[in-house]
Chains A and B, each alone.
Chain A
Amino acid sequence: MSVLTVNNLTKQFGKFTALDGVNIEVNEGEIYGFIGPNGAGKSTTIRVLLGILKATQGSATIFGQDAWSDAVDIHKHIAYVPGDVNLWPNLTGGEVIDLFVKLRGSNNQSRREELIEKFNLDPTKKCRTYSKGNRQKVALVAAFASDADLYILDEPTSGLDPLMEQVFQQYVLEMKNKGKSVLLSSHILSEVEKLCDRVGIIRQGKMIESGTLGELRHLTRVHMLVETKQPLTDLNELKGVHAIEEKDQAVSFQVDAEALDNVIKHVSQFGIVKLESSPPTLEDLFMRHYEQKDESEVGGAS
């Protein structure tokens, strides 16, 4: 069942198009990774989902309700952590957590204490003295202490140390196991790879790829490292082979998924001694779109 549906969402600020036909679907019990570079439109999309910005075109629904007109009803079942957490300098972290939890509705005191301890936060300090990481912890504690159905997290770990990132991932998985849904925006790809069931990549306001990690990997190249008895020749003449590099006796290269069959047939003629293949990392996926962009820019210039 779909918890969150974004359909052909467009947002313009004056003449600038920040979002151009964005589609997202998050299902129940699913962690959706929303990735893209800074300024691609991740936060803008999330702010439309929260009813803070109004969509120019298209629709955004959460729990089947409209993100703009039913914002208050929706927010009773949502927990949100902004990417840049600005707090009130003269309130303590503990006060802010209580305020946030209360404004959503429920209050779970024992869970709050547990989270404060796990995230190693001093709730008696004024927010003015908190570092970026500590301000994020305040927002995370408030979010996880809430009993929400959908968690919208906008780059929530950018200020956390690796230990705290672990704690964060543990809680996100716990939410998933409880059947909750999570929309996790991030540019830390290893984190998304570890946590997310499905991924959407946004660039310059457009969704350029989305699907499960498996599906996305299928669309891209496999890394191969081959060592053969006879020297491997004519490899560069095959279709769909890229980035050929000679390494001692072995050769490493990348293969487009659809060309894999042909390439293996060709390589096997030379007597395979060693063959290693690894799936593309999310980083490769990500970078591939950049290469494409660069190529197209070069093409456009010539």
Chain B
Amino acid sequence: MALKKTGSLFRFMLRRDRLRMPLWLIGITFFTLAVPVAFVDLYASQQERDGMAETMANPAMTAMVGPADLDNYTIGVMSAHQMLLLTAVVVGLMSILLVTRHTRADEEDGRLEMIRALPVGRLSNLNATLLVLCATHVVLALITGFGLYALGIDSMGLEGSLLYGTTLGATGIFFAGVTALFAQLFENSRATIGFSIAVLLVAYLVRAVGDVGNETISWFSPLNWVTRTEVYANNHWEPLVLMLGVAVVLGVLANYLNAIRDLEAGFFPARPGRKNASAFLQSPMGLALKLQRTGMIAWAVGLFVMGLSYGSVLGDLEAFFEGNEMMEQMLVAEEGYTLTEQFIPTLMIAMGLLATVPPGMAMLKLYGEEKKNRVEHLLGRAVSRARLMGSYLLIAIANGFVMLSLTGIGLWAAGDAVMEEGLDFGMIYGAALIYYPAVLVIIGLAVLFIGVLPKLGSIIWLYVLYSFIALYFGGLFDFPEWVGQLSPYGYIPELPVDDMAWMPVSMLVIVAIILMIIGFVGYRRRDIEG
């Protein structure tokens, strides 16, 4: 009785996810299949692959992607080594989001109450969700497995390919179990997603620490079991048995907890929050900061880690580039500079553009608040429009500075550690911060849109994407010069290879200021929406 109508709910969920599910599957499959194909082009000879193996043979890379058989670095081993763990993390994330959506989120918003008022079993929703996830992951395992085999690459046999796919599917089922359990424990979907992602991250970190230091520690992490399958090398299936076994236990536990609890209740009731606002919160700026705090910290950590990971490859750069035509073409041959120094602008343009995203989001948040009818609470009190917009602008400006700094510091810290001769901090930090004026232009553009044409604010993301394509790939495809000059990033001197040029940099700052002024004037004049 408790499972009555599970089948109907199963079909209903498939219908609700008829777009979402295929998009996840297509996205994951596409990247899984694209990487080996790219590797065949990039590392055609065993000599090149051994060069890559050498680059990977350092603790930083092991911490990032796990261990592998580096003496037998075929295309298959290489693909599994560099992609399997990270793809498994993405599959885990997919499970977390989908399971929360169909369990605690539906329950919190009261939709499950309506379902449960129908002749539907108490455990039907949970088990329909788990069934949907299992079915999805079986499909994922099959299409990635057979897809990889169908690429027809020598070192990627049928068993290894199926093991690759099954590992992804099993990881997905495992995290579906984890999330199903947390969905019973916590009363809201934010906590469910938060704690499930925390498990995912801790699992990743535990195996990172274990893989570098002590292998026994690694075995406590389900993500370590992913790398222990040794796909395309020794093809171990046993870790997956362990993974699915634990997943079943988690699913049974979730069912038990669901059976003994009330609808919309959890086992960790929400803690009472603050009764009074802190002094910090009681201003437009404090409010804006508090609303964005979690997101900003996540971006800061992310960009710093990205800096670190780029930095960690600098040590073996020379070996890495030797004989790689594509990479050589991307770098402008410049006399008097080491390969590392020539490579830095390429890294920096990518990191500078990524570091533009969080300040851009911080600025556009002002319009997001407007659309949700929340700025009228502030403007309806003794807060002027200039002060409100100024608060968001100051946060965005500071945000951009911090984010760029973190990428530079991360790159320097890791690079300095892995390079024998060390790395000059001033040189790296300068090469990162030189992109700040371009970031200011993007922020200025966001201010302009919010003030004058708020509905079109998202255009700044298209512009950032354009800049990335025009400049990052510009060298590779030999775009004409004007393509890059349509982007503010195209005027930034490529330190340390180029000389410092104050003229274009100060012009960018002036452009940014003009954009901001127009935005402020427009914002003071227009109607507030909502």
Contact = CB atoms under 8 A, between A and B. Distances in A.
Interface of A: 47, 50-54, 71-73, 75-76, 78, 80, 82, 84, 86-88, 90-92, 94-100, 102-105, 123-126, 128-129
Contacts of A47: 376, 528
A98 B382 contact: no
Contact of B284 (A52, A78, A90, A103): A103
Contact of B291 (A53, A90, A105, A129): A90
B382 A76 contact: yes
B382 A95 contact: no
B282 A75 contact: no
B283 interface: yes
B273 A95 contact: yes
B329 interface: no
Contacts of A86: 372-374
B113 to A, nearest CB: 14
Contact of B384 (A50, A71, A80, A128): A71
Contacts of B378: 103
A52 B273 contact: no
A106 B372 CA distance: 27
B281 A99 contact: yes
A103 B273 contact: no
A82 B382 CA distance: 16
Interface of B: 188, 270, 272-278, 281-284, 287, 290-291, 372-374, 376-384, 525-528
Contacts of B291: 88, 90
29 contacts: A47-B528, A52-B376, A52-B527, A52-B528, A53-B527, A54-B527, A71-B384, A72-B383, A75-B381, A76-B382, A82-B373, A82-B376, A82-B377, A88-B291, A90-B291, A92-B273, A95-B277, A98-B282, A99-B277, A99-B287, A102-B282, A103-B282, A103-B382, A103-B383, A104-B381, A124-B274, A125-B272, A125-B273, A129-B188
* Most A Cβ at <10 Å: residue of B275, B281, B283, B290: B275
B283 A102 contact: yes
Given A53-B527, A87-B374, 11 more contacts: A52-B380, A52-B528, A53-B528, A72-B383, A86-B373, A88-B287, A92-B273, A94-B275, A103-B282, A103-B284, A129-B270
Contacts of B275: 92, 94, 123-124
Contacts of A126: 270, 273
A58 to B, nearest CB: 15
Contact of B380 (A54, A75, A96, A128): A75
Contacts of A78: 380
Given A52-B527, A86-B373, A125-B272, A98 B379 contact: no
B281 A95 contact: yes
A50 B290 contact: no
